[in-house]
Each structure stands twice: as C-alpha cells, then as structure tokens.
Structure 1
Amino acid sequence: MRPGEANCPYCDDAMAHPVAGHCGKPLCALANSRAAAERAVDARRVEAGAARARVAEAVAPVLARVQAEDGAGARPLLGAVPHRVPVLVAAEEGRRAAFLAHVARLCDEAFRVDVEAIGEVYDRKAQEPDEPDVVGPACASCRGSCCIRGFGQMAFVKLGTIQGFRRAEPGLTKEALLARYEAHFPEESSAGGCLFQGQMGCTLPRSHRAGICNTFHCELLDALIEEAEGAAGPVVVVAADEAGVQVVSVMARDGSWEEVEA
C-alpha cells in the first residue's frame, strides 16, 4: 500500500481516494450508497424518537390529566401530526373566477358523456370509505398542512371529480355544479393555499370535495390511524411545528373529541 492509500471497507482492495469511502468499483460504490442510506434512516429514527420524547414531555400534564379523568386504567395514546397556521387573506375575485372557469371547462368535457356511460371507477361511495374517528381531531389540529397544495391544483377538482358528482346525482347540471361551488367560497381563504381553506377549515361539505381531499393521509396520520385502532384508552393528538407544540386535542373512547389547553 502506498502512502495515502487505505483499504476499501467492502472488498479490502487499496483505494487511492479514501475520501470517497470505497475503491470505486461499481459493487463497492453500490454497497457504500446503501450503507449511507441506512445511516440516514437510522438518523431519522433517532431524531423521530427524540422529537416524540420532547412532545411527550411538553404535554405530560395533559396526558396525566386525561388518564386521571378517564379512570379506566389504560394509558392514553400519544399521536403527532404536522401543523400549519393558515394566513387568511380577503377573497380574491380573480382566483374565484379562475376556479369557476376551470370547473366550467371540466363540465363541458364531462357532459359530453351520458350519465349511463360513466364508469364505476367514478363511484364516490365505493372510493371513499368512512374515515376512522381519529382523522377528525388529527386533521383539525393540523390546520391543513396538505390543503396548501390545493392552490396550484384548483382544489384538486378534475374531470373524475365532476363525473363522480354526476354518477351520484344523475340530474345534476353544469349550472347547479357551478352554483354549488360558488355558494361555498369563503370570505377569507389561506394565502398560497386552497381557495376553500377558510378560517374554520374547508368550507366545502365533504360530499362536494375532490376525492383526494377525502382520502389522502400523510405519513403521520397513517401511523396514528394504525396505532389508534388498537388503543385501549383515549387518544391525545399533538400538532407541532418547528416552534414546538401548537394544538392539543383529546379523543375519548367513544370517538368524541375536543381541543384542550396544552
């Protein structure tokens, strides 16, 4: 081995450039990449564990109070969700007009197809099962971190959304659909977010929303749903951001919930 050389940790051959972490052979480069990915996953797990511990410490009084009030002996489940505070701005007529024009174009295309010819793939009842109880406090506490993406997606309303409405309500007209959306425009909506993200959340009834709005789950929500399925006691949902805990909601065993003081 010449001065400055080191052995490759994967094949034990000498490597002239130790800074790369391997000798340069394709298989060694692949192994090095996989090792780096595994280290990154481990680091994220450590950080996630540390974050969960910080959240648990921050809401320890709430957990203790909930457990005492529940009285059944089961420890409350602690679940975390993201948090975003919508910055509300006055209604913009240009955004409203652009949205209605978007829906009108979709209707023009959708209504070229007879209701009887709309496929089962657009059956909203089949595609949108009832959500678990914990979704209510989780999404309300989050304040719509995913809803902001609706800004550039016209509230995610697409051709399939319109056909789903028509299949569910065969007598629905283009004019009725446009009026339905127009009637639910909020006076203020989230800056840079979905047009229908108002002060108290989405101003559209669940039946009026695009399918993805009723079915999308972020990773944290999916994890919380899975944990809550086996929870024997109340569920404490904590919405936090870089600044710390922002919203705490408690869901009782019967599925009812309320926001509480952290």
Structure 2
Amino acid sequence: MTRNELISYLDNYLNVQQYKDYAPNGIQVEGRDQVRRIITGVTACQSLIEEAVKLNADAILVHHGYFWKGEPQVIVGMKQRRIKTLLMNDISLFGYHLPLDGHPVVGNNKQLGVKLGILNPTVIDGVEQNLIWKGDLIEAIPASEFSNLINMKLNRKPLHIGEPNSLIKSVAWCTGGAQDYIDIVANLNIDAFISGEASERTFHSATEQTIHYFGAGHHATEKYGVQALGEHLANQFGLEHHFIDIPNPI
C-alpha cells in the first residue's frame, strides 16, 4: 500500500481527531512512497531505528514518537541523529500516542486488560478522554497474588502500595504515565489501580485513600497496543510486520 493510504487508514481507525494530545499523531517523518514492511515498537529511539534499517523497513510505527509539546524545537544532538537516520534510509515514522492508548480493540488499555485476564474491561465514561478502564478479577485474591500475576504476565515486578494480604476484586487501570488518575479511581469504590509509573505523591494518594496501587512499568504496560496494531495492519493489508522490543526498565 502507499504511504498516504496508510496515513489515511490509521488516522481514521485510531480516531485521531477525538483526542487532545501532547504530540502530533500520524505521520511524523516522511519516507518512501510504498509500504510493504513495517516495524513496530514502543518508542522511536535510535536502537529501534537501527533495527528497522537492518530489516530494510519502509515504515516504523510507535507509541512514543517525536515533537512533544515543550521540547526544544531545534534538531540537534540525539534528535538530529534519529531523524537523520530515518531520512538517509527513506523510512517513514508514524507516532500515535493517546489514540493508541484509548482504542477499544488494539489500544494499550484494552490489550493490558486482556493480558492480565481482567473480566468485562470497560471504559470509565466521561473522565480524562475516556482513557481509564475498569474491570474485575475472576475472584477476589490477595494483593500479593495479584502482584505476582502482573510480574508473570508482564515479565516485570510491579511496585505495590497497599496491604499484601488484603483482597482485590475490582481493578482500574491506565497505561504509562497515568499515576495521578488514582485520585479519580479512589472515588469509585474500586480496590486497585494500575498504571505504568509512580510519583512521590502516589504513595500518599494510595495510602490515605485506602486503594491499592500497582506501578507495572511505563514500557511494560505499553508494549501490547502497538503490537496488536501492527498485527492488525498485517492481516488487513498483507504487510510484513515485525515488533522490536527495546528493553526499558522504566
């Protein structure tokens, strides 16, 4: 398919216009016109780009792209090296941030719920651009057991704030840097909240509002949406798709 056909399809499929975001969603760096082989990854770091070059990819599709609000506008240093590598190898870069978090099928939040086996995953309507999800475990289990489940499924031991022996049945979550949504969830009579990162204030929010918090890793919670999107494109259009996981402990 052509690059412009891919742009049009992704922008529509991911409902880009629905979100107020911190970076441009869609095409960020323009490469060759035809797209047959696509690389997906969490972040458009130099290591991911170099892997795409080795695989002779036509396009890279990521959750964390470039040109964030507040970042320096000049193209020097790390940014220059990344963009130079893309341009020299005629590789397009697509970045989808909040649209990939919120998508009801391939989104990070939906896919994390599936990965953890959470029943009846649904959006909490009307808050934070519908990015917070909720659901239930099959049965109430001790918090320590749920922490072990997260570790097993995501291959990353989570930060847990809360009493390890108390039971958890209802769960809410939002992947990535969504730790401050705990204050919304705490008012909804939900047992636990999962995000990727934690801040110093997260400890106090969790303990004072008596809600379990699990910091399961920004990277670890956001690997699955972009993989699902890449697989969707491969099935829909016959593209060759490779997911490249660049390890990140954050």
Q: Pick the structure with more strand per residue.
A: 2
TM-score, normalised on structure 1?
0.21
Q: Pick the structure with more helix per residue.
A: 1
Q: Decide which structure has the larger Cα Rg and report it.
A: 1
TM-score, normalised on structure 2?
0.21
Q: Which structure is richer in relative contact order (CA contacts within 8 A, separation 6 or more)?
A: 1
